[in-house]
Amino acid sequence: MSRSAVSVARVRPADEETFAPLWVSSRVAVGQTSEWADRAVREGRLRDALQRNDVRIYAASTGGAQVGFVVVTHSPLSGLAEDTAAWIDQIWVEPEHRRTGVARELLQMAARFAEHVGASQLVSCVPAQQKDSNRYFARLGFAPLVTSRSTTPGALRRRLAGDETLPSSDAVVRRRRSLRARAARVRLARGTGG
């Protein structure tokens, strides 16, 4: 696809209706259901984000159609830090408009936002399994900062308490490995080898 002029503008609360279809399609593309995304819009999640002072959503348009967006926020890098960081929470470009300069324009807007809020760092939240996205950000100079891991509060409490009433996946794997090793020893003792 040839490169055409890309314009980037802030999505305001009054723009929610025109922006919502792009946001919904981005959520479906990353594995959410369209029902979930539509419900999130109906329940006001998008409207609430557009009204927050610490969140900015910028949409990229080409040929009069919105083709991508970036969601940026600002807050300290950690709970004890004083320096402000700008966070790229989401960035998404319609597949048919990738490699046409849309992401570059969105990231330039994210950098301008970071400078506007006086952020000393610009942080991108990229899922570990998205290898292409991770490579893209690495090429732009983003370095790994932390590894985020998540669990449910209930699962953490059970693990901390040592509750083995519901076997964890680790326990199941250990049990399977133990059974395989025992079976291999028996086969070896019988002389069958494997």
CATH code, 14: 3.40.630.30
Claim to verify: residue 145 and residue 173 sit in the same structural domain: no
Q: Give the mean pLDDT of 34-52.
A: 95
Q: Is the pLDDT of residue 2 over 80?
A: no
Claim to verify: residue 130 and residue 59 sit in the same structural domain: yes
- 181 lies in some domain: yes
* Confidence label for 113 from pLDDT (cuts 50, 70 and 90): very high
pTM: 0.74
List 74's β-bridge partners, or say none: 86
Claim to verify: residue 63 and residue 28 sit in the same structural domain: yes
Q: Is the pLDDT of residue 124 over 70?
A: yes
Q: Is the pLDDT of residue 37 over 60?
A: yes
Claim to verify: residue 166 and residue 85 sit in the same structural domain: no
- 88 lies in some domain: yes
The answer to whether 126 and 146 are in contact (CB under 8 A) is no
Claim to verify: residue 29 and residue 114 sit in the same structural domain: yes
The answer to whether 19 and 46 are in contact (CB under 8 A) is yes
Claim to verify: residue 184 and residue 133 sit in the same structural domain: no
Range(s) of the domain holding residue 30: 7-149
Claim to verify: residue 119 and residue 173 sit in the same structural domain: no
Secondary structure of residue 126 in the 3-state scheme: coil
Claim to verify: residue 42 and residue 91 sit in the same structural domain: yes
Per-residue pLDDT at 114: 95
- 91 lies in some domain: yes
Per-residue pLDDT at 1: 46
Q: Give the mean pLDDT of 176-181.
A: 83
Claim to verify: residue 175 and residue 102 sit in the same structural domain: no
Claim to verify: residue 184 and residue 125 sit in the same structural domain: no
Claim to verify: residue 13 and residue 53 sit in the same structural domain: yes
Beta strands in 41-159 (DSSP E): 55-62, 65-76, 84-93, 121-124
Claim to verify: residue 106 and residue 59 sit in the same structural domain: yes
- 1 lies in some domain: no
Per-residue pLDDT at 81: 78
- Number of domains forming the structure of the chain: 2
Q: Is the pLDDT of residue 193 over 60?
A: no
